[in-house]
Structure 1
Amino acid sequence: MDGFVCKKLTEWGLAELTEKFKDEGIDEEILYLLDDPEIDSLIPRVGHRAKFKNKLKLLKEEKNTTTNQETVNSSAQCRQEPEEAADLDLDLPSTSYTSDKGKRKLDLQGESSRPQTKKPRHDTIPGSYREKIILNKVKNIMRLVDDRIPKQDNKKLNSFLKTKISELETDKREMVGVFGKTGAGKSSLINAVIGRKNLLPSGGISACTSVMIKVEANMQKKYEADIEFITKEVWNDELWSLFNFLEDNDTDEKLSALYGEEWKNKKPENLMDHKYFKEIPEFLHSRRKTLTCESAEELSVKLVKYTRSEKTDGESKDIKRWYWPLVKCVTIRFPSNDLLQHVTLVDLPGNGDRNKSRDEMWKEVVGSCSTVWIVTDINRATAETEPWEILERTCSLMGNGGQCQKIHFICTKSDVIEDSDDHSSDKVRALIFKRNMQAKEEVKKEFNKLNKVKKHFSDDCFEVFTVSSKEFLKQKDLNQDDTEIPKLQEFLKDLNDCHSETLNYVSGAYGILSLIQGARRTEVVAQKTEVCTILEDKMRQELEKVRKPMEEAYKVFEKCLSEGVERSKPSCQQALSSIYPSEVSGRGFHRILKCVVQNNGTYTPKKGDIKKQINLNVDLASRLTDSIDEEFKKTFPNKRKYGPFNGVINNFSLDTERLIQKYKDVELQLTFLKTEEEKMKTKLNKIIQYNKKKIYNSLTTTIEEAMKECYKKAADFRGQGSVKNMRDTIEKHVYDSKNIMFQQAKDKMLNQLTKLKEDMLKSLETTMQESIDHSLKTDGDSILDVTVELAKVKKHYNEPMGPDEETLTW
């Protein structure tokens, strides 16, 4: 409960209700949404209830009067003084609504957009805002219903209902990964898209290539950052590696950032002394450090030492210690922003990290991104190799080994034309437009050359944007040709999908309330029995329809993998080529190879030099993954509208809609089954999406497991001839194991496919049978009456969702 509600209850002489309101989570927003049935349940005493209703009614009238007057005044001011309003430095809501398109446009904190000239309608509410109101209303209804479900009578059914109500709450969050080398404009892009000019520092101080930064919306009014550190044990191991195996300049950079010059005369174990971590005791106790600030600028300044590399210019000169070598991930949360309500933007290093824990987190996040933004300077969009190398190196993690549906190639600084300072002239704008269109075509042609990437992503997954973060932040006479940041904002709005969250919750709540009310009817036993028999027969038929395509897919993968095993055996020598020196020789290559065996077959070079990256396990497994890539993409498409296994889960149906028309006496029970069926299919598709990543990546992880023994043995070699001994040990193990290792990888993947099939069928049958039993085989004569609640939720369930044709201008 917030301070506003507490203050009002005290003013109204109802302070004794404070604890009850606190327990129910009644904040200012929910207070205004309370209706009579909810108030009746919330306040049992008649005197208090009558007083509260009267006071709340007066408060709502006062709020409506104030809001209407402010809206009228604002509208009049927009019509009379548009130029003055455009120049004001106001802290506006993060989202504005344009009535001509019915679309939301993100406004910038501290800067106002040009006001809309079209007269707003004051009797309409923006679609997303209306949906939030509906969602909060229905959530409040279900909280109160949950409280009223008795704990004694009908324990089995009541427990089932409480579980179903708790499952309505889902924390859906989409991940958008942002790649790009330092200087490409990632930070400026993120700041512009989310409308926070100074949230992520840009320019002056270089970004650290190791630290992952997540950006999310915060429901609080503060700016927050959670800093997650690597563990003491991991840092102790990394110190040992830094002193023994990696390049001198990399060691110097990391250790000097944290220890200054002290490390040069000390042993690694002495650098674990607690005196070096006094400012970050959270690191010593394996806890997260939280920073809380009033503004984006203040938070940005405090974060510099945890996220950026050392530089001598500006305010950074005052920083004595830089803690980024110890940081695993930073999560930044800023006050309410609709675009990131259910979306997380992640600023990602280009190719993982040498540190194992950071690298594992990097792989997990990359595999969880539903969209990837690859950011580069428009003048080097095709010539710069790093963006394309990132794409090639990560495509299997994002595609078949992940859940990425869209790749956005974002060309920054699209407004920059050399030898021209006046970007507003028609001539220069024409040049900018032509150059941007040309860049788009060239980037698309380059993408079409990437055969490896196209095994995982089709042409319609790839889109190119040209943006100018600098000009967008200025808000100067922009049109769609100057920058496509508004398009990216619109994409995030759709990805955020408030509409889907509301629809799913309301649908689930309607089903549960239908079941509760239907369970009160005990006079329709014969019809229940008849419908139950029909449903169980139908379920057996539908389960068979699911089983058949899954078994067919298994046979196809078995054939593909058998071919992959046979191709892998003779190609071992080619895969092993990475452990032979090419440009690097002598001591340098000794360190690289030592790093490979120390890190179970992988080597991540300094500063994201992707061309020099080594992953022997991936190379050895490449023939196996190549053999299934095309079929895997068809069987487990990342695009949700298609569904896995040719959509068999999506097509599963107990035909409840038809049964409702015929058996009206059990319409409520069938309505519940209809909503449960949809929930179940959504849940299963998510489970398959998660498990398909593990199944695909199992080919490489099985190879890695089979190679661990030789990596460990090779790592023990020291002194003269150790490079040859390490290489010979790896080669011998590969050739001795090749007739078993690749077959093991094949068998493990096929076993996981079989387990997935069995788990899906069991889950479908068990969940739907349980729902049928509770709907049609349970006596619910003592259950509560939810007539009023059902009518309210049914009204919301039946009303159209989404924005009005004309929406209110904020």
Structure 2
Amino acid sequence: MDDFVRNKLTEWKLSDWIEAFEAQEIDEESLYHLDDQEIDQLITKAGPRVKFKDKLKLLKEEKNTTQPQKEAVNTSGQDLPSISERAFQSQMSSDGYGAAVGTSNSYNLGRGSSSVLADNQLDPPGKRKSDHLQSESRKWQPPLKKQYNCAAGSQSETEILSDVKNIMRCVSEGLHGRDKLSAFLKDKIKNLETEKRHLVGVFGKTGAGKSSLINAIINNEGLLPSGSVSACTSVMIKVEATNGSKYEAHIEFITKEDWEDEVQSLKQALEDNDDDDDDGGDDDSLDPDGKLSALYGEEWKERSTHSLMDNKYFIDIPEFRTSKIKILKSDTAERLSEKFVKYTRSESNETEEVKRWYWPLVKCVTVKVPDSDFLDHVTLVDLPGNGDTNRSRDQMWKEFIASCSTVWIVTEMNRAASEREAWEILEDASSLLGNGGECQQIHFICTKSDHEKPDDLNKVKNAVMKEFKKRKTITNHFSEDCFQVFTVSSTEFLKGENVNPDVNEILKLKEILKNLNDAHSETSNYVSGAYGILSLIQGARSGEVVEQKNDVCAVLEQNLSIQLNRVKKAIEDIIKVFEQCLREGVEKSKKSCEKKLKSFLHPSKKTNRAFHMTLKSAVRNDGIQKPKKGKPKNLNMILASYLTESIDEKFRDTFPNNIKCGHFNGAIDAFSLSTDSLIEKYKDVELQLTFLQTEGKKMKTKLNKTILTRKKLIYNSLTETIKDNMKECYKEAAAFTGKGTLKNMRDTIERHVHSKMDMFEEAKYVMLEQLNDLKETVLRTLEKTMKESIEHSLKPEACSLPDVSEHLEVVKKHDDELNGTQDEKK
């Protein structure tokens, strides 16, 4: 065990588990590769385990986005943290992880702290240091690539973004000083780079027209296989743009270990069907015969699980054996489709000559399409409706669902309002999309609108909207404003003849995707941040106005203290409301869980014979049963339902998926250091204050995104805590075989729930603890980021910086053009 892991556990308030991690020799590298089973073995209590998984997931996201920084050269003899350490500490704080353990005291940026700049310059006799530095900076002037025409509307946002990125790249190259301010500025320039990719999840039952719709959207009929009612998508398919000229399919496989475990489960399910006295039921979600026969034909029936792992079965897919991504390329969509069909279809026409189907081994397929500009920042994801019994596929399914900003529910026109499966898919996913996700828009798309009259289409739309309002499970998470209905005909659109946009609304859907793909937010944020950084550089070159800087510093630090207290009180008031809601939810759960449990264990519309394998499948899958058809059943969500219902409305108001509405009832957005009024009073430090304006805006944007990620984990912690408490009885119930298995499973589950009534209180505690952790993250991020910015803006020591006045003028005009001079910057 290394210091990194020990420090992380200490930072996360999980010191009690250091010994367990040390005994298993968990170091930094292995920490990132822990799976759920290994975590369960290391941390045996549900509360700390949920907290650890939450923190580890965020740490992995941080690791994937943070790039190594160059270290600063320190010639002062002081023990200063390196640039990479400071970048890491700053990034960790702004993303919600807190300052890294072991930060040097010299990095304390509060008022009156020691200087953070080292004096690395020697002045000639009789020459002031500032003159020397100004002279040195003139040796390097970053050239303007071209003369920019900044008249309104003269450049597209793409051109503006490209121009400003070129400027900032050039400026960064000119910051080759060894002082801390230069390192700080280089980090700020690097952190301007952000990219938001919007996920659009596409759901619908087999034959509803999902693949045809996606083909029509990208204007290519032959990309995704469609047209066969018997053929359905068995794996997740992502469709996005590529910069290359060829069509590509990137195929990601599950691990060989995962497949071996699944084969064992499939074979065991078949044995249970054959041996148990209560066997029966045709809704077993494992579909063992279908999966095993697709890959092995009839051979699997006579072979052991171990022998079915022989490499001869995977000779055509060496990537599966080596855990690599298989890449297929073709000049045409049709040819690529022929190549990857065996990796995506769960059933085939008898006329198709495919010897071996590999879809049971596939985790996800990413199809990359050339010449699709509107997919540069948008990914369409064709999703199975119920997730998957394979753990890794199901985990990816949940992550995709929770990350969708828009969802399309695809169903046929003639039964749009009454199509049970479409509504069940939406109901089942609503908590993952809403309070447990970040979905902002639901589009209910009625396909096959060929030759329909506008009046008839309006009747269908009204009927669908009426049905939406009846679905309380959905409306708990989404308002009417989030729901829209569209009518389309993919066939007619691809023909390209006489398309009536009022009847066939594919063009409207394409426009929605173009708006999602619009880089305005990215461009605006980048240009605004660049304007602030250039202002700081130019301001730092100006003459010393020590008295004004000290005065402004004092005011800013006082404002910061006042604002932090306001944010703290606002969040604490909200947490108190959640505590009261959860207290009521706990009491209701204790009183009514027996009724909920009975409805799951003794369904009125099923015989014992039919229910036996349904329950067997559920206990094998941690309480979750996913039928091939119909609505999944999740006992953990059923038991947690009173808890989640108690907070649903308040949670949606507190953490809206549209972050423009403001998290914590707008408390974050209201945070302000009142720099506008200070600029009016202290003109000599206007440039530094401008940097603080833009830095505050950027910080709040990033913090709101962090909150959006964290709130998903917080909401889902209720169900996860219940699931962790139920795992023991699921394992016990799954072990029963032979006569009386159904009764034994029921009795085991009932007995366990009755003895675990404190799990509802524990779920409440875990959620409140995570809310308090989020509060501390928010306050720490606001304080650390703004203190650091104030310090570098108004308390720097002398250093060598380039003259960026021309660049500043250009970027300011771009910023005004994008945001309007009337925008008030906080």
Confirm or deny a common fold (TM above 0.5): yes
1:55-134 mapped onto 2 (5 Å cutoff): 130-134=156-160
The residue aligned with 2:59 is none
Query: Are 1:467 and 2:488 an aligned pair?
Result: yes
Cα 1:754–1:462 change in 2 (3 A) is: same
Counterpart of 1:370, as a letter, is: S
Cα 1:787–1:144 change in 2 (3 A) is: same
Using the TM superposition, give the Cα deviation of residue 351 of structure 1 relative to its aligned residue in structure 2, in angstroms: 1.3
Using the TM superposition, give the Cα deviation of residue 128 of structure 1 relative to its aligned residue in structure 2, in angstroms: 11
Using the TM superposition, give the Cα deviation of residue 478 of structure 1 relative to its aligned residue in structure 2, in angstroms: 2.0
Q: Which of the pair has the greater relative contact order for Cα pairs under 8 Å at 6+ separation?
A: 2
Residues 793-802 or 188-197, more deviating: 793-802
The residue aligned with 2:790 is 772
Counterpart of 1:619, as a letter, is: I
Moved over 6 A (4+): 123-129
Separation in 1, partners of 2:800, 2:635? 65
Contact in 2 for aligned 1:406/1:462 (Cα 8 Å): yes
Counterpart of 1:143, as a letter, is: R
Aligned pair partner of 1:360 in 395, 399, 418:
395
Cα 1:520–1:575 change in 2 (3 A) is: same
Report Cα offsets for 1:168-195 as digits up to 9, x if no partner: 1112111111110111111111122223
Cα 1:303–1:205 change in 2 (3 A) is: farther
Contact in 1 for aligned 2:623/2:635 (Cα 8 Å): yes
The residue aligned with 2:339 is 302
Separation in 1, partners of 2:495, 2:562? 62
The residue aligned with 1:232 is 256
Residues 728-737 or 715-724, more deviating: 715-724
Query: Are 1:631 and 2:666 an aligned pair?
Result: no
Query: Are 1:514 and 2:551 an aligned pair?
Result: no
Using the TM superposition, give the Cα deviation of residue 771 of structure 1 relative to its aligned residue in structure 2, in angstroms: 0.6
The residue aligned with 1:423 is none
Using the TM superposition, give the Cα deviation of residue 602 of structure 1 relative to its aligned residue in structure 2, in angstroms: 1.0
Q: Secondary structure at the match of 2:156?
A: helix
Query: Are 1:190 and 2:209 an aligned pair?
Result: no
The alignment yields a C-alpha RMSD, in angstroms, of: 2.6
Query: Are 1:375 and 2:410 an aligned pair?
Result: yes
Separation in 2, partners of 1:570, 1:334? 55
Report Cα offsets for 1:750-773 as digits up to 9, x if no partner: 111111111100110000110110
1:182-581 mapped onto 2 (5 Å cutoff): 182-204=206-228, 206-245=230-269, 247=284, 250-313=287-350, 317-416=352-451, 432-577=453-598, 578-580=600-602
Counterpart of 1:592, as a letter, is: T
Using the TM superposition, give the Cα deviation of residue 638 of structure 1 relative to its aligned residue in structure 2, in angstroms: 1.5
Using the TM superposition, give the Cα deviation of residue 151 of structure 1 relative to its aligned residue in structure 2, in angstroms: 4.7
Query: Are 1:743 and 2:761 an aligned pair?
Result: yes
Contact in 1 for aligned 2:447/2:487 (Cα 8 Å): yes
The residue aligned with 1:111 is none
Using the TM superposition, give the Cα deviation of residue 223 of structure 1 relative to its aligned residue in structure 2, in angstroms: 1.6
Cα 1:533–1:336 change in 2 (3 A) is: farther
Report Cα offsets for 1:67-95 as digits up to 9, x if no partner: xxxxxxxxxxxxxxxxxxxxxxxxxxxxx
Separation in 2, partners of 1:438, 1:174? 31
The residue aligned with 1:666 is 685
Separation in 1, partners of 2:782, 2:608? 60
Identity of aligned residues (%): 60
Query: Are 1:641 and 2:660 an aligned pair?
Result: yes
Counterpart of 1:482, as a letter, is: V
Contact in 2 for aligned 1:208/1:324 (Cα 8 Å): no
The residue aligned with 2:726 is 707
Residues 712-721 or 683-692, more deviating: 712-721
Cα 1:336–1:502 change in 2 (3 A) is: farther
Contact in 2 for aligned 1:514/1:668 (Cα 8 Å): yes
Q: Secondary structure at the match of 2:234?
A: coil
Q: Secondary structure at the match of 2:323?
A: coil
Aligned pair partner of 2:171 in 140, 145, 149:
145
Contact in 2 for aligned 1:568/1:742 (Cα 8 Å): yes
Counterpart of 1:678, as a letter, is: K
Query: Are 1:593 and 2:611 an aligned pair?
Result: no
Query: Are 1:797 and 2:815 an aligned pair?
Result: yes
Counterpart of 1:735, as a letter, is: H
The residue aligned with 1:20 is none
Residues 674-683 or 195-204, more deviating: 195-204
Cα 1:193–1:456 change in 2 (3 A) is: same
Separation in 2, partners of 1:286, 1:568? 44
Contact in 2 for aligned 1:521/1:780 (Cα 8 Å): no
Using the TM superposition, give the Cα deviation of residue 589 of structure 1 relative to its aligned residue in structure 2, in angstroms: 3.2
Using the TM superposition, give the Cα deviation of residue 243 of structure 1 relative to its aligned residue in structure 2, in angstroms: 1.0
Separation in 1, partners of 2:325, 2:258? 16
Separation in 1, partners of 2:198, 2:153? 21
Separation in 2, partners of 1:207, 1:132? 41
Report Cα offsets for 1:4-23 as digits up to 9, x if no partner: xxxxxxxxxxxxxxxxxxxx
Q: Secondary structure at the match of 1:213?
A: strand
Counterpart of 1:601, as a letter, is: G
Report Cα offsets for 1:283-316 as digits up to 9, x if no partner: 11111111122222222121111111232355xx
Using the TM superposition, give the Cα deviation of residue 587 of structure 1 relative to its aligned residue in structure 2, in angstroms: 5.6
Report Cα offsets for 1:729-759 as digits up to 9, x if no partner: 1111100111x11000011111111111111
Cα 1:207–1:520 change in 2 (3 A) is: farther
Using the TM superposition, give the Cα deviation of residue 233 of structure 1 relative to its aligned residue in structure 2, in angstroms: 1.1
Q: Secondary structure at the match of 2:170?
A: helix
Separation in 1, partners of 2:446, 2:311? 45
Using the TM superposition, give the Cα deviation of residue 490 of structure 1 relative to its aligned residue in structure 2, in angstroms: 1.5
Using the TM superposition, give the Cα deviation of residue 256 of structure 1 relative to its aligned residue in structure 2, in angstroms: 1.4
Report Cα offsets for 1:85-120 as digits up to 9, x if no partner: xxxxxxxxxxxxxxxxxxxxxxxxxxxxxxxxxxxx
Separation in 2, partners of 1:164, 1:337? 32
Cα 1:597–1:326 change in 2 (3 A) is: same
Counterpart of 1:755, as a letter, is: D
Counterpart of 1:387, as a letter, is: A
Separation in 2, partners of 1:565, 1:248? 32
Separation in 1, partners of 2:425, 2:695? 42
Report Cα offsets for 1:504-549 as digits up to 9, x if no partner: 1111111111111111124222211111111111111111221112
Cα 1:128–1:799 change in 2 (3 A) is: closer
Contact in 1 for aligned 2:207/2:229 (Cα 8 Å): no
Q: Secondary structure at the match of 1:397?
A: helix
Structure 1: runs of 5 or more not aligned: 1-43, 58-122, 418-431, 803-810
Contact in 2 for aligned 1:131/1:499 (Cα 8 Å): yes
Q: Secondary structure at the match of 2:238?
A: strand
Separation in 1, partners of 2:226, 2:151? 37
Contact in 2 for aligned 1:519/1:779 (Cα 8 Å): no
Counterpart of 2:804, as a letter, is: V
Using the TM superposition, give the Cα deviation of residue 45 of structure 1 relative to its aligned residue in structure 2, in angstroms: 14
Using the TM superposition, give the Cα deviation of residue 725 of structure 1 relative to its aligned residue in structure 2, in angstroms: 1.7
Separation in 1, partners of 2:483, 2:567? 32
Using the TM superposition, give the Cα deviation of residue 205 of structure 1 relative to its aligned residue in structure 2, in angstroms: 7.2
Separation in 2, partners of 1:487, 1:125? 31
Report Cα offsets for 1:783-808 as digits up to 9, x if no partner: 22222322222232222479xxxxxx
Contact in 1 for aligned 2:285/2:626 (Cα 8 Å): no
Separation in 2, partners of 1:151, 1:198? 56
